[in-house]
Amino acid sequence: MVNIAILGSTGSIGINTLEVIRKFPGKFRVIALSGNSNSALLERQAREFRPLFVCVGQAAGVRRLKASSFGKKVKIFTERAGLEAMVAEKKIDKVVIAISGSAALFPLLKAIECKKEIALANKESLVMAGSAIMAMARKNKVKIIPVDSEQSAIWQCLEGEDTVNLRNIYLTASGGPFRETGINKLKAISVRRVLRHPKWRMGRKISVDSATMMNKGLELLEAMFLFGVSSEKIKILIHPEAIVHSMVEFIDGVILAQLSATDMRIPIQYALSYPARLANYDAGSRVDFCRLEGLHFQKPDFMKFPCLKLAYLAASELGTLPAVLSAANEVSVNEFLRGGLKFISIYTVIERVIARHRNIGNPDLEDILHADSWARQEAHNIINKLKYT
Ligand code: NDP
Ligand code: MG
């Protein structure tokens, strides 16, 4: 029995993780859960899974959990320090990091420091501080098992292989909701339209990232850090069917691909069960090749999705630039979701923040945190200027 902590259990990945665990009661035990603002859902999850530890973001949530019937049987934590303290609990074997945005960084570092096995969905932490995270994981002999479907695919294709023999990684992308939308139509696009992804149902931030294709840019950086590969070796391929989750090509010309249905529960399950594979009997989780109309691949349109250019720039320069890219993106996406920024201005803000940044090579964690807060402030300043021009 593996004792699992799910950080971000009230989000899209968190909910899917609990669905997987429900199917294997003899294999996994939910020992800790965390949510931020949605204490009502967190309470329902705690009622069903009876964890020993629960962390909630706000004081009102703590009151709600304490007042519930199981309130005395669980240890309740709150805020960032509470989340880190919860992660350190001895009984936890594996931590699923399903918090969105940079808020995942410190609990992730804590989990690594405490030598927990990691199932990592969050990508912003890796983009921000990939070198520091991977160095800490190596030092503590901690495995970081990717949950993101593309990284899980690459991880599976590279299993038992030497990355010296790697020629290319083909990072696939569904193309998001605007793959076929004309570039001029992207100017006046609504939040509602952006959140309607054709292939995946996800949280709000990653849905916007998919629409700008910054999600693929973040995944480019994520793959570089996870697998120790330079950006020249990573090619982004649009693959609208989202069946091939990524591919690797070796020096002898052999290409390995990982295919499966478009269902996040599949990579989540593998990250939980690794290295074992568990039987999945859901009919919807199978690929029926005879019913597929074809598998298509094409180059991404860098003019229509200029955020990809910014991500490749950050990927070639590295230093503090990836942290700046991710922070400026997070601020801009939040502002877009609040209705304070146009869809196309997400790119403008990030581009301007990057242009003003003085990059620091080989940064330590302090440099990264400094660059992160600088970029957030710059992004806010630029957004305010855009509002009044
Ligand atoms: P959601 O927005 O659906 O969920 C985010 C979770 O994080 C919620 O539980 C939320 O709590 C919690 N949270 C938000 N802010 C904080 C904070 N400051 N402190 C603590 N907890 C916080 O996101 P997703 O599940 O879609 O994505 C999670 C991560 O996984 C992202 O990094 C995303 O890029 C990555 N990912 C997601 C995929 C998907 O299919 N959704 C696929 C691949 C990767 P609450 O809701 O209670 O406020
Ligand atoms: Mg992905």
146 lines ligand 1 (CB under 6 A): no
Given ligand 1 and candidates 10, 12, 100, 210, which is best to mutate, with the most ligand atoms within 8 Å of its CB?
100
The stretch 277-303 carries a mean pLDDT of: 91
Q: Which atom of ligand 1 is nearest to the CA of 101?
A: 32
Question: In Å, how far are 207, 308, 319, 322, 373 from 361, measured between CA atoms?
Answer: 31, 22, 4, 11, 17
Distance 198 CA to ligand 2 centre (A): 14
**Res 68: pLDDT:** 82
266 lines ligand 1 (CB under 6 A): no
Q: Look up residue 247 and give its DSSP letter.
A: E
For every residue of 312-328, DSSP letters joined together read HHHHHH-TTHHHHHHHH
User: Whose Cα sits closest to atom 24 in ligand 1?
Assistant: 203
Domain assignments of the chain as residue spans, ordered by start: 2-146
Fold of 2-146: Rossmann fold (3.40.50)
Q: Look up residue 285 and give its DSSP letter.
A: G
The stretch 190-217 carries a mean pLDDT of: 91
pLDDT score of 285 more than 90 = no
User: Whose Cα sits closest to atom 35 in ligand 1?
Assistant: 122
Q: 1-5, 68-72, 188-192: which has the minimum mean pLDDT?
A: 68-72
**Res 51: pLDDT:** 96
Distance 10 CA to ligand 1 centre (A): 8
**Res 201: pLDDT:** 80
pLDDT score of 71 more than 80 = no
Model confidence at 111, in pLDDT bands (50, 70, 90)? Answer: very high
36 lines ligand 1 (CB under 6 A): yes
10 lines ligand 1 (CB under 6 A): yes
- Give SS3 for 75: strand
98 lines ligand 1 (CB under 6 A): yes
**Res 118: pLDDT:** 98
For every residue of 117-148, DSSP letters joined together read EEEE---HHHHHHHHHHHHHHHHTT--EEE-S
304 or 196: which carries more pLDDT confidence?
A: 304
Model confidence at 389, in pLDDT bands (50, 70, 90)? Answer: confident
Q: Which atom of ligand 1 is nearest to the CA of 200?
A: 40
329 lines ligand 1 (CB under 6 A): no
Question: In Å, how far are 50, 74, 94, 137 from 78, measured between CA atoms?
Answer: 18, 13, 20, 26
**Res 125: pLDDT:** 98
- Which residue type occupies 372? D
Model confidence at 8, in pLDDT bands (50, 70, 90)? Answer: very high
Share the mean pLDDT of the chain.
Answer: 95
35 lines ligand 1 (CB under 6 A): yes
- The strands making up 234-238's β-sheet, listed across from edge to edge, are 234-238, 166-173, 244-250, 255-259
Q: 36-45, 70-79, 101-110, 143-152: which has the minimum mean pLDDT?
A: 70-79
Percent of the chain with pLDDT over 90: 88
What's the pTM value of the predicted model, to 2 decimals? 0.96
Per-residue pLDDT tens for 13-58? 999 999 999 999 999 999 999 999 999 999 999 999 999 999 999 8
The stretch 81-96 carries a mean pLDDT of: 97
Distance 71 CA to ligand 2 centre (A): 36
268 or 184: which carries more pLDDT confidence?
A: 268
Per-residue pLDDT tens for 215-259? 999 999 999 999 999 999 999 999 999 999 999 999 999 999 999
Per-residue pLDDT tens for 251-273? 999 999 999 999 999 999 999 99
**Res 310: pLDDT:** 98
As a whole number of angstroms, the distance between CA 105 and CA 165 comes to 31
**Res 56: pLDDT:** 95
Is the separation of the CB atoms in 102 and 125 below 8 Å?
yes
Per-residue pLDDT tens for 342-381? 999 999 999 999 999 999 999 999 999 999 999 999 999 9
In angstroms, the first-to-last Cα distance of the chain is 59
Model confidence at 188, in pLDDT bands (50, 70, 90)? Answer: confident
**Res 64: pLDDT:** 85
**Res 388: pLDDT:** 75
Model confidence at 197, in pLDDT bands (50, 70, 90)? Answer: confident
As a whole number of angstroms, the distance between CA 75 and CA 94 comes to 18
199 or 107: which carries more pLDDT confidence?
A: 107
335 lines ligand 1 (CB under 6 A): no
124 lines ligand 1 (CB under 6 A): yes
Given ligand 1 and candidates 16, 18, 36, 38, which is best to mutate, with the most ligand atoms within 8 Å of its CB?
36
As a whole number of angstroms, the distance between CA 380 and CA 204 comes to 20
Distance 35 CA to ligand 1 centre (A): 9
Is the separation of the CB atoms in 332 and 352 below 8 Å?
no
Model confidence at 281, in pLDDT bands (50, 70, 90)? Answer: confident
